[in-house]
């Protein structure tokens, strides 16, 4: 009886240890949006000066969850010198529009792009991304000028990319001046 109870206890411990074992890590091709920017390997930027200070080997950048009121299309063009750039998260950057997307499409290694909450992005700008075959993840949540037909056209042009889009409903977060309607 004691042996059976001991075996049951050992099995319980073993099963508990299995449940606590770390899960397999995600593939490097899959973005992990659950991590804070610095832990996800992204450098936080907010201004053109931040972009100009980035080392040439930078692989990922973000404006963080609150975006940047200062970044514009011409500032994004300054990213073109970063030939290793793979991950660009420019959430809630209201000064970014279609010209920025045309510039981003010229980044040779761009795999992941988050433009959620960028009010100046339209279907025409989104279609510029079709010239970026390395893209695998594109987030366009809460971009009020991006439409479902525009997203469908982009999906046809980049069949290997996951395009995530939601309607123009008010996003959570945003830059400090953001006021939901």
Range of the domain at 88: 77-174
Lowest mean pLDDT among 18-27, 48-57, 88-97, 113-122: 18-27
Per the domain annotation, does 117 fall within a domain?
Answer: yes
* 55 has pLDDT over 50: yes
Domain holding 139: CATH number? 3.80.10.10
Nearest in space to 101 (alpha carbons), one of 79, 82, 68: 79
Residue % of the chain over a pLDDT of 70:
70
Nearest in space to 63 (alpha carbons), one of 77, 80, 46, 49: 46
Per the domain annotation, does 67 fall within a domain?
Answer: no
Per the domain annotation, does 12 fall within a domain?
Answer: no
Q: Please count the structural domains in the chain.
A: 1
pLDDT at 169: 55
* 168 has pLDDT over 50: yes
Per the domain annotation, does 60 fall within a domain?
Answer: no
Per the domain annotation, does 181 fall within a domain?
Answer: no
Structural tokens at position 113: 């792009």
What is the average pLDDT across 1-27?
A: 45
Per the domain annotation, does 37 fall within a domain?
Answer: no
Lowest mean pLDDT among 19-33, 107-121, 160-174: 19-33
Per the domain annotation, does 146 fall within a domain?
Answer: yes
Residue 130: partners with Cβ closer than 8 Å, 6 or more residues away: 105, 154, 157, 158
pTM equals 0.73
What are the distances in angstroms from CA 20 to CA 16, 25, 35, 155? 6, 14, 20, 39
Structural tokens at position 6: 């001991």
**Contact yes or no for 104/135 (Cβ under 8 A):** no
**Contact yes or no for 83/97 (Cβ under 8 A):** no
Per the domain annotation, does 107 fall within a domain?
Answer: yes
**Contact yes or no for 29/55 (Cβ under 8 A):** no
């Amino acid at each position: 009886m004691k042996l059976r109870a001991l075996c049951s206890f050992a099995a319980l411990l073993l099963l508990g240890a299995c449940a606590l074992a770390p899960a397999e890590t995600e593939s490097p091709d899959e973005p992990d949006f659950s991590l804070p920017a610095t832990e996800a390997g992204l450098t936080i930027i907010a201004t053109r000066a931040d972009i100009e200070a980035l080392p040439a080997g930078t692989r990922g950048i973000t404006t963080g969850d609150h975006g940047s009121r200062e970044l514009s299309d011409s500032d994004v063009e300054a990213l073109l010198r970063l030939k290793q750039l793979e991950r660009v998260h420019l959430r809630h950057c209201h000064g970014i529009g279609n010209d920025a997307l045309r510039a981003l499409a010229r980044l040779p290694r761009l795999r992941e792009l988050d433009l959620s909450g960028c009010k100046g992005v339209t279907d025409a700008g989104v279609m510029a991304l079709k010239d970026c075959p390395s893209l695998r993840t594109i987030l366009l949540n809460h971009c009020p000028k991006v439409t479902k037909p525009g997203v469908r056209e982009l999906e046809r042009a980049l069949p290997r990319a996951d395009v995530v889009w939601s309607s123009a409903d008010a996003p959570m977060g945003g830059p400090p001046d953001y006021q939901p309607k």
